[in-house]
Amino acid sequence: MRLTTALCLTTALLSAPALAQEPAPTRDSTPFTLSSGTPRTPEQLALRFDKADLSFKLLPETQSIEAVAVLDFTATAPSAAVVVELDTLFAIASIAVDGQTVVGWSNPEGRLTIPLPSALKPGQTASVRIAYAGRPHQAKRAPWDGGFVWTTTPDGKPWIASAVQGEGCDLFWPCVDHPQGEPDRVDLHITVPSDLSAPANGRFLGKTDNGDGTTTWNWTARQPDTYAISLNVGPFVEMAADYPSRFGNTVPLRFWRLASTDPVKAAALFAEFPQQLDFYEATIGPFPFGDEKMGVVETPHLGMEHQTINAYGNGYKLDGKGYDWLLQHELAHEWFGNQLTNADWDDMWLHEGFGTYMQPLYGRWLNGERAMQSELQTMRLTLSNRFPMVSGQPQDAGTVYDGATGPGLDLYYKGALIAHTLRLYIGDEAFYESLRRLVYGRPDPKPGNFAPRYATTPEFIAIVNAVTDRDLGWFFDAYLYQAALPDLVMGRDGERVTLEWKTGNGRPFPLPVEVEVDGRLRALPMTDGRAAFTAPAGAHILLDPGSKVLRRLEYLEIWKASQAPAAKP
C-alpha cells in the first residue's frame, strides 16, 4: 500500500499544474547510479540473465516514464536473491517473483536487492516483475553527460532520446549495470503519442494502436549491450533499403530522419550506409546483426553507438573527408563494442581505439594515403599520455573516460595510433586476422557461425602472439600499460650514430625503425632496443620518415605545453 500510494502521489505531482509554493529540493541520481561497471555482487554472478521484457510509456508533457520490466534469470549457483541496479529517482509500485508479491526488497543508492520466495538451485529459474515510474535523470550535455534528452523539433513536436553509456542502463531500466551484464534477449514495448514514432533496437515486431491516442511499438534484440538499449521518440520518416552483403545474406538498412529534415541531405547520408558497410565487411568481417538491421535514428544529441539503432546528430555536416565521420564511427561499434564487448571498462580501448582506427582506414579506402595520414596526424596532436591505456585492474566507466583519472580521449586516438603501429609492424594479414579472432572468436566468420562475445586486453595480446607466432608482450607492455610513449633517443659521435628505445619501465623494446640518411632509407632491427650505424658527420638524419611508429615527439610536447592555460599569480 505504501508503494502504491507513493506512485500515485508521484504521478499526480507530475501532472498537476504548478502552485505558488517553496520549490522542493531537486533530487538527483546517486553517485553509485551515475557510475557504470561497479563489480557485480555474488548474487549477480550466480544468475544468468536470460531475458528482459521492457515496457515503457513515455509522457512528453511531464518528461516522465511509466514502465514495467520482466526479468528472467537462471541460477548457475545457489542464490537467495536477485540483485539489479535501478535509479532511486523512480518510485517502485510493485515487485513480484514468479507472480508472488515481494515486500522485503531494498534499493539503497540504486542497487535493488529482491529476496526470492525460495532460494534457487543451479538450473532453476525466476521471473521478476518490477513496475516503476518517474522522471528519469536528464542529460545536461548528452552524450558526454548521460541521461534522457527531452526537447522539441523545429516544428514543435516532442523529440526524445536516451544516451547512457557512461552512467549505465540503470538510469531508466533495472539491469545488471556491468559490461558483462548483457541479457540473452531484450523485448521492447514503447508506447508513445500516435503521431510519433519509436524506433529501437533489433527487429521490428509491429505496432499496436491502443485507441487512446497512443501507439505501442514492439521490438526484439539479441544479446544487446546494456547501455545500448535505446529509446528514441519523434516525428520520424523511415527510409528503407536492403544491402546485399558480400557474405551472401541481405541486411535491412533503416534510417529514421526527422520529418522536418531536408530530404536531399538525408538521402545523401542514407547513400553512405551501403558504402560504409562494404568497407567494414571487407576489412573486418560480416555485419554482426544482419538478421536484425543496420539502423540509425536522428537524435537531438551528437551521437552514440546503440546496437542496430545508432544515434546520429551530426547535422549532415560536410567537412572535406568525403564521408560522415560520426556515422562511420558509430557504425564501427557494431563490431567493436556490440559484437565484441569489453569484459571490463579497463578494456575499453578495444572498443574506442580500434573503432577510431577504422576512420583513417576508411579515409584511405575512399581517398588514398593522404587522407589516412591527415587523420592520423590530427589524432597525434591530441595525446595526453597521463595515464596508461590499461591499468590491469577493474575500472568503472567514469574513471577511464575522465582524463583526470584515466586515459580519457587517449582511449580513442592513442588507441588508434597503437593499432596503426601494430598493423605496420606485423603486416596487414596478421593484423586483420587478429582483429577477426578478437571480434568473432574465430578466423573464418560467416553469418550464423558466431555470436556476440566478451574479450579482454590479455586475450587480444594472446591472439596476436598466436597469429604472429611471436611473443609481443613487450610491445603491448610499452604502449598499453605505460603512460609515457616509447622514446627513440639518437646520439652522434663523429660518424657513429646510436639509437636507443627508452620505455616507461625501462624494459627492452625491440621495435624496428626506419631512418633516412641524406635521402637514403634504411631499416634498423633495433635488437634489444638498440642500434648503431655510421653516417657522415654532416649528414641529415630523419627518424621514422614514414611516421610508422608511435613515439615521443619533443616538439609536440613543447607545443602542448605552450597551449596550457597560464597559472594564475
Q: Taking the alpha carbons of 526, 530, 536, 538 in that order, is the dihedral positive or negative?
A: positive
Model pLDDT, residue 24: 40
CA R_g for the chain: 26
- Chain segment 404-447, per-residue pLDDT in tens: 999 999 999 999 999 999 999 999 999 999 999 999 999 999 99
Q: What angle do CA 425, 430, 435 make, to 5 degrees?
A: 105
Cell of residue 135, nine digits: 522522471
> Nearest Cα to 174, choosing from 219, 140, 138, 136?
136
How far apart (Å, rounded) are the C-alpha atoms in residues 411 and 314? 21
Domain spanning 487-563, CATH architecture: Sandwich (2.60)
Report helix, strand or coil for 299.
coil
Strand 158-163 with 232-233, pairing: antiparallel
pLDDT confidence bin for 353, thresholds 50/70/90: very high
What is the mean pLDDT of the segment spanning 152-170? 96
Model pLDDT, residue 19: 28
pLDDT confidence bin for 564, thresholds 50/70/90: confident
- Which positions ≥6 away from 29 have C-beta within 8 Å? 87, 88, 89, 110, 137, 167, 171
Strand 64-75 with 125-134, pairing: antiparallel
What is the mean pLDDT of the segment spanning 524-539? 96
Does 5 score more than 80 pLDDT? no
What is the mean pLDDT of the segment spanning 517-533? 97
The mean of the pLDDT values for the chain is: 94
Model pLDDT, residue 565: 79
CATH 1.10.8.60 for domain 341-480: no
Q: Which homologous superfamily does the CATH classification assign to the domain defined by 1-12+37-136+172-183?
A: tricorn interacting facor f3 domain (2.60.40.1730)
What is the mean pLDDT of the segment spanning 293-315? 97
Model pLDDT, residue 26: 61
pTM beyond cutoff 0.95: no
pLDDT confidence bin for 479, thresholds 50/70/90: very high
> Within 255-295, where are the H helices?
263-270, 272-283
- Chain segment 377-397, per-residue pLDDT in tens: 999 999 999 999 999 999 999
- Which positions ≥6 away from 444 have C-beta within 8 Å? none
- Chain segment 451-478, per-residue pLDDT in tens: 999 999 999 999 999 999 999 999 999 9
Model pLDDT, residue 568: 59
Model pLDDT, residue 8: 33
Task: Name the percent of the chain lying above pLDDT 70.
Answer: 95
- Chain segment 266-275, per-residue pLDDT in tens: 999 999 999 9
Model pLDDT, residue 569: 58
Does 4 score more than 80 pLDDT? no
Task: Name the percent of the chain lying above pLDDT 90.
Answer: 94
What is the mean pLDDT of the segment spanning 114-139? 98
**What number does CATH give the domain 137-169+230-334?**
3.30.2010.30
Asked whether this chain's domains 1-12+37-136+172-183 and 487-563 adopt the same fold, the reply is yes
- Which positions ≥6 away from 187 have C-beta within 8 Å? 51, 52, 53, 54, 205, 218, 219, 220
> Nearest Cα to 511, choosing from 543, 542, 541?
543
Residue with cell 539491469: 175
pLDDT confidence bin for 191, thresholds 50/70/90: very high
Domain ranges of the chain: 1-12+37-136+172-183, 137-169+230-334, 341-480, 487-563
The H or E element spanning position 161 is strand 158-163
What is the mean pLDDT of the segment spanning 503-528? 96
pLDDT confidence bin for 449, thresholds 50/70/90: very high
Model pLDDT, residue 345: 96
Does 16 score more than 50 pLDDT? no
Model pLDDT, residue 22: 36
Model pLDDT, residue 393: 96
How far apart (Å, rounded) are the C-alpha atoms in residues 323 and 119? 55
